[in-house]
DNA sequence: CGGGTCACTTGCAAAATGATAGTAACTGCC
DNA sequence: GGCAGTTACTATCATTTTGCAAGTGACCCG
């Protein structure tokens, strides 16, 4: 299954995965968030083959999550920065990280710290309407048509 | 890259993706959440090849996100249910869905409705410590060692 | 007994991925 | 000015994964 597949029906999850539905893409976003914005930084950080990295960067650029910016004309040097859509995806990374920590968190792991409070961030997904964490209130699906 | 790869360093995101880092797996979790718990229901809903579905179900079972339960002895019929780890992953699906709706949400999409209030759920990732949505306060990374 | 459903497995082709090597544009150092 | 080093890739080809189609086995229903 190609990640940039055709229609994906009426499911918003599928719509999201269409654009970032593979592991390398997500890991690239994470690297950029951590400040690794250059090609070779990502390549060595991820241990990814260069052809694959090129392809993923192109796909993420097409999908509108990152953009390439030349920060030096001579020598020609580029960096990849998050677009607004890319930045908006970062909280999901944090939520995945929290889940990974809970269920596969053996050993010391990288954390995110709130600069002001000095406390580790504890990401939780809530419903903005009720303020309640998802999973604590009964929900139902509503399908179009 | 196999999704059940070796160690993944100190990054909790990577730890999470080790277990659900492919698109079919996530779509399967979504289907189970929606009540499509049986093999053929998923196969027709997803349009996935049966060998791939079998492999993904086995992988998700190994990863501890779902479990197989026989609900009928004769004829032998099984369903796949979420484990606690699997249910804990659902809020992330909701967050991905919200992102997909925002950035790729043309046309009518399935929604989740809070049964009590009747309002559509609006998933947001917050820091449980501060209550602030992620992305609204400065954070820094803290690496082990 | 014969079709139909459900839950798969098997075999093989097509596509994606990954390792390795090579290219191109420079810089900086003697 | 020449040569190693860095950065950012592309090209080639082997390996792996995915996907399609067909087949299997257990059962039920008429």
Closest CB to B125: pick one of A17, A21, A123: A123
pLDDT digits (tens, 9 = 90+) for B7-61: 457 899 999 998 888 999 999 999 999 999 999 999 999 999 999 999 999 999 9
Mean pLDDT across A64-88: 90
Closest nucleotide to the alpha carbon of B78, via C1': C7
* CATH T-level fold of B12-84: Arc Repressor Mutant, subunit A (1.10.10)
What predicted TM-score, i.e. pTM, was given to this entire model?
Answer: 0.90
The 3-state secondary structure of A17-32, one letter per residue? HHHHCEHHHHHHHHHH
> What's the confidence (pLDDT) of residue B21?
82
Length B55 CA → C1 C1' (Å): 36
pLDDT of A2 over the 60 cut: no
> What's the confidence (pLDDT) of residue A72?
79
Nearest residue (CA) to C1' of D15: B1
Q: Which residues of chain A does B93 touch, with a Cβ-Cβ cutoff of 8 Å?
A: 13
Start-to-end CA span in chain B (Å) = 27
The b-or-e profile of A9-31 (16+ CB within 10 A means b, else e) is eebbbbbbbbbbbbbbbbbbbbb
Give the residue extent of every domain in chain A: 12-90
pLDDT band, residue B76 (cuts 50/70/90): confident
Please provide the CATH number assigned to the domain covering A12-90.
1.10.10.10
Residues 20-79, chain B, touching A (beta carbon < 8 A): 21-24, 26-27, 30, 34, 64
* Cross-chain Cβ contact B128/A123 below 8 Å: yes
Closest CB to B15: pick one of A95, A101, A111: A101
| Min Cα–Cα distance to chain A from B73, Å | 30
Is residue B114 a contact partner of residue A34, using CB atoms and an 8 Å limit? no
> What's the confidence (pLDDT) of residue B144?
87
pLDDT digits (tens, 9 = 90+) for A16-61: 998 888 999 999 999 999 999 999 999 999 999 999 999 999 999 9
| Min Cα–Cα distance to chain B from A106, Å | 9
> What's the confidence (pLDDT) of residue B2?
43
Mean pLDDT across A110-116: 96
Is residue A71 a contact partner of residue A51, using CB atoms and an 8 Å limit? no
């Amino acid at each position: 299954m190609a990640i940039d597949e055709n229609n994906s029906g009426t499911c918003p999850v599928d719509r999201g995965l269409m654009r970032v539905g593979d592991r390398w893409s997500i890991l690239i976003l994470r690297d950029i968030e951590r400040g690794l914005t250059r090609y070779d930084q990502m390549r060595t950080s991820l241990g990814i083959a260069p052809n694959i990295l090129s392809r993923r960067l192109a796909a993420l650029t097409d999908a509108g999550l990152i953009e390439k910016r030349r920060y030096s004309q001579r020598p020609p040097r580029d960096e990849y920065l998050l677009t607004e859509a890319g930045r908006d995806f970062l909280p999901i990374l944090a939520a995945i990280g929290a889940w990974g920590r809970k269920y596969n968190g053996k050993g010391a792991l990288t954390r995110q710290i709130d600069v002001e409070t000095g406390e580790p961030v504890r990401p939780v997904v809530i419903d903005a309407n009720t303020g309640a964490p998802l999973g604590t209130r009964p929900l139902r699906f509503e399908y179009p048509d």
